């Protein structure tokens, strides 16, 4: 059961962070930041993490994913002004 919840959360945050990255790529004046967030979001997709583990033999610890997730949220909501960008899209 715990593994199923973890898998759902990984997919949820992967999609959320990918959406945040896409918004930052196409709205505003900082597309490089959006690409950076998109690249970080790839670490949350379970199949990509499995490929990374198979190729390198390293696993990404859960605490690293938590810290990266908090960083993405903090940088997007605070520094990246994500809410203002979403308002711009909504019109």
Of 58 and 91, the one with more pLDDT: 58
pLDDT at 29: 76
Of 44 and 88, the one with more pLDDT: 44
- From CA 8, how far away is CA 15, in angstroms rounded? 11
Give the number of residues written for the chain.
Answer: 91
- With H, G, I as helix, E, B as strand and everything else as coil, classify residue 61: coil
Residue 24: count other Cβ atoms within 10 Å of its Cβ: 24
pLDDT interval class at 89 (50, 70, 90):
confident
Contact 41, 76 (CB under 8 A): no
Is the whole model's pTM more than 0.85, yes or no?
no
pLDDT at 43: 92
pLDDT at 63: 94
Where helices occur in the chain by DSSP H, the ranges are: 2-26, 31-41, 46-56, 62-74, 82-90
């Amino acid at each position: 059961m715990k593994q199923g919840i973890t898998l759902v959360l990984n997919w949820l945050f992967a999609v959320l962070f990918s959406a945040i990255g896409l918004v930052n790529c196409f709205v505003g004046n900082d597309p490089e930041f959006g690409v950076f967030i998109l690249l970080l979001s790839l670490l949350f997709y379970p199949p990509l993490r499995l490929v990374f583990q198979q190729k390198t033999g390293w696993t990404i610890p859960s605490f690293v994913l938590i810290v990266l997730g908090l960083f993405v949220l903090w940088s997007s909501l605070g520094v990246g002004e994500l809410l203002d960008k979403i308002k711009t899209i909504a019109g």
